[in-house]
């Protein structure tokens, strides 16, 4: 509880203007790099097309470049789908673990915090309900500790 004032002071003491300038500068540099990489890619494809056109003719050269680009695109799509599926499985596993922890006997606040991701997924009313219950549990825990002392 003593760390909250420090966090608030830290948030207000940051220089957000400098952060915005740095972010804007990074965006400009990355945009320039992206344009240069795209130019390099197009130039390389053009050189490959000219080289293959001398060997096999223009239609075959263009067709082979298109087939190669299609194969690379399909591999990238497969990797993206696989990564997305794995992330979804990990998220469901984390939610399942949180639900199991919430069902264990123990602290009311910990139980509420364990079910927050499940209850609040896309439902603002559930978010408000969970926030209210968490505040109630925290207040209840604080008053019960005072009564024991």
124-148 mean pLDDT = 68
* Neighbour tally for 98: CB within 10 Å: 16
Helix 58-103 with 108-119: angle, nearest 10 deg: 150
Cβ within 8 Å of residue 113, ≥6 positions away: 134
Which residue, 105, 107, 143, 112, is CA-closest to 129? 112
What does the pLDDT look like over 63-81, one tens digit per residue? 988 998 899 999 999 999 9
What does the pLDDT look like over 90-122, one tens digit per residue? 988 988 887 776 666 555 556 556 666 665 566
Q: What is the residue extent of each domain of the chain?
A: 22-103, 104-149
Q: 88 phi and psi, to 5 degrees?
A: -65, -45
Residue 31, pLDDT score = 92
The model carries a pTM of: 0.48
């Amino acid at each position: 509880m003593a760390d909250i004032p420090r966090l608030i002071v830290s948030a207000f003491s940051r220089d957000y203007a400098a952060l915005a300038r740095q972010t804007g500068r990074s965006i400009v540099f990355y945009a320039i790099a992206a344009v240069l990489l795209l130019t390099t890619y197009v130039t390389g494809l053009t050189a490959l097309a000219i080289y293959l056109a001398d060997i096999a003719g223009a239609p075959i050269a263009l067709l082979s470049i298109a087939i190669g680009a299609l194969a690379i695109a399909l591999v990238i799509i497969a990797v993206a789908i696989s990564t997305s599926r794995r992330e979804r499985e990990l998220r469901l596993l984390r939610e399942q673990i949180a639900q199991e922890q919430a069902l264990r006997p123990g602290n009311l606040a910990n139980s509420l915090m364990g079910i927050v991701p499940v209850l609040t997924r896309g439902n603002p009313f559930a978010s408000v309900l969970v926030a209210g219950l968490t505040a109630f549990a925290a207040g209840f825990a604080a008053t019960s500790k005072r009564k024991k002392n």
